């Protein structure tokens, strides 16, 4: 009889994400084992308990999912799990804290597709600003965008030092070239977006970050992506279902287009489903993070 598939879901938060549990079940895992309040030092032992308790047939149907809300901690937990493997006792591990990796990968890929189709440009040709850039999705978006070649700045609404510190930390970890910026008022936002090509909006749900008057200050804007699906949306004039629709409020950037939360969310959903499913079907252990998510998002969008 074939061994049942098991996904061990490690989360440093008090509760595992119901979204991730639903996704894992829909991807085909038979048994989901959630672990909450998991500390980094626990990961090595939990991994070895998972790999040494099953035969070779069972190992192929065992995997680990790392959740939480912290980009760096999720990567550290993934790395700790990988170090605990003892060939041939190896299983796949996928880190996606708060869905940040798959959401960010979908966002950047959707914007890249519109850049190519509407403007015949690539990310490496562009300057990008990320509003809400110091949260988990914003950081992941920044790292992906920077590694793809865009001149990328993380924008914080409270402190430029916070943005600079985070940019420095992730530049060190992933050899990218992030910058840190600050904009707390409409005047400061308008000044920042004057010459930018891309705006990524990854701020908290239900907060409008850029209104019409600010957008009208943009002179070179090409594509705007907003992951916020809760009214008011993060960028005025973008509709949740937009996928390359003309940007309503950008009179000085007449060719600018927008990508809304539902278009991004559709790719994010496909992406997370595919990556979880890959852990079930692979014969070689996979260690999946934001880089694999972005590669798969590009495949989904055929870019």
Residues 164 and 222 in one domain: yes
Which of 248, 264, 280 is the C-terminal boundary of a domain?
A: 264
Question: Using omega within 30 degrees of 0 as the cis cutoff, is the peptide bond preceding 69 cis?
Answer: no
Q: Judge whether 123 lies within some domain.
A: yes
Domain residues for the domain of 172 are 100-264
- On whether residue 1 sits in a domain, the answer given is no
Distance CA 25, CA 79 (A): 24
* Residues 260 and 111 placed together within one structural domain of the fold: yes
Q: Residue 201 pairs with which residues in a beta bridge?
A: 131, 226
Do residues 249 and 110 both lie within one domain? yes
Q: What is the pLDDT of residues 111-131, one digit of tens each?
A: 999 999 999 999 999 999 999
187 with 172, same domain: the answer is: yes
- Backbone phi, psi, residue 151, to 5°: -75, 105
Three state DSSP letters for 60-116: CCEEEEECCCCHHHHHHHHHHHHHCCECCECCEEEECHHHHHHHHHHHHHHHHHHHH
Q: Decide: helix, strand or coil at residue 230.
A: coil
Please report whether residue 146 resides in a domain: yes
State the average pLDDT over residues 225-248: 94
Claim to verify: residue 44 and residue 134 sit in the same structural domain: no
Residue 211, exposed/middle/buried by CB under 10 A (0-12, 13-18, 19+)? middle
Could you tell me if residue 293 is inside a domain? no
**Is the same domain home to 202 and 230?**
yes
Q: Which residues, 6+ apart, have CB-to-CB distance to 252 below 8 Å?
A: 216, 217, 218, 219
* Residues 126 and 51 grouped into a single domain: no
* Whether the predicted pLDDT of 58 surpasses 80: no
Q: Which of 52, 78, 95 is at the close of a domain?
A: 95
User: Does residue 280 lie in a domain region?
Assistant: no
Helix axes 160-174, 71-83, angle to 10 degrees: 20
Number of domain units in the chain: 2
pLDDT tens column, 134-192: 999 999 999 999 999 999 999 999 999 999 999 999 999 999 999 999 999 999 999 99
Assign residue 35 the CATH number of its domain. Answer: 3.40.50.10280
Q: What pLDDT was estimated at residue 218?
A: 94
> Does residue 49 form part of some domain?
yes
Q: What is the pLDDT, as a whole number, of residue 1?
A: 59
**Do residues 113 and 179 share a domain?**
yes
Which of residues 63, 95, 127 is at a domain's end?
95
Q: Is residue 48 part of a domain?
A: yes
Query: How many Cβ atoms from other residues are within 10 Å of residue 55's Cβ?
Result: 9
For residue 45, being part of any structural domain is answered with yes
Nearest by Cα to 235 from 181, 191, 265, 198: 198
Residues 121 and 90 in one domain: no
What CATH code is carried by the domain that includes residue 228?
3.40.50.720
Residues 126 and 248 occupy one common structural domain: yes
Segment among 127-136, 250-259, 272-281 with least mean pLDDT: 250-259
Is 55 found in the same domain as 177? no
Q: Determine the 3-state secondary structure of 22 from DSSP.
A: helix
Same domain, 128 and 12: no
What's the whole-model pTM score? 0.96
């Amino acid at each position: 009889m074939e061994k049942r598939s098991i996904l061990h879901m490690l989360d440093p938060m008090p509760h595992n994400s119901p979204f991730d549990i639903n996704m894992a079940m829909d991807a085909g895992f038979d048994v989901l084992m959630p672990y909450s309040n998991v500390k980094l030092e626990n990961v090595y032992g939990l991994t070895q308990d998972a790999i040494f308790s099953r035969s070779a047939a069972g190992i192929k149907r065992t995997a680990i999912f790392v959740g939480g809300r912290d980009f760096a901690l999720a990567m550290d937990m993934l790395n700790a799990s990988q170090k605990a493997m003892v060939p041939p006792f190896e299983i796949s591990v996928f880190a996606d804290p708060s869905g940040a990796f798959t959401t960010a990968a979908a966002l950047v890929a959707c914007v890249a597709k519109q850049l190519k189709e509407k403007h015949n440009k690539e990310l490496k040709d562009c300057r990008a600003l990320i509003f809400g850039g110091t949260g988990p999705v914003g950081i992941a978006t920044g790292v992906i965008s920077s590694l793809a070649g865009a001149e990328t700045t993380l924008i914080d609404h409270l402190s430029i030092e916070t943005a600079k510190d985070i940019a420095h930390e992730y530049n060190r970890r992933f050899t990218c070239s992030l910058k840190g910026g600050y904009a707390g008022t409409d005047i400061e936002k308008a000044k920042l977006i004057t010459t930018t090509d891309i705006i990524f909006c990854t701020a908290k749900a239900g907060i409008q970050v850029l209104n019409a008057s600010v957008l009208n200050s943009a002179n070179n804007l090409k594509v705007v992506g907003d992951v916020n699906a809760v009214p008011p949306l993060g960028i005025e004039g973008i509709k949740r279902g937009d996928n390359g629709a003309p940007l309503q409020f950008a009179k000085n950037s007449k060719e600018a287009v927008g990508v809304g939360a539902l278009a991004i969310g559709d790719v994010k959903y496909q992406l997370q489903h595919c990556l979880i499913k890959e852990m079930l079907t692979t014969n070689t252990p996979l260690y999946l993070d934001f880089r694999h998510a972005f590669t798969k998002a590009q495949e989904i969008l055929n870019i």
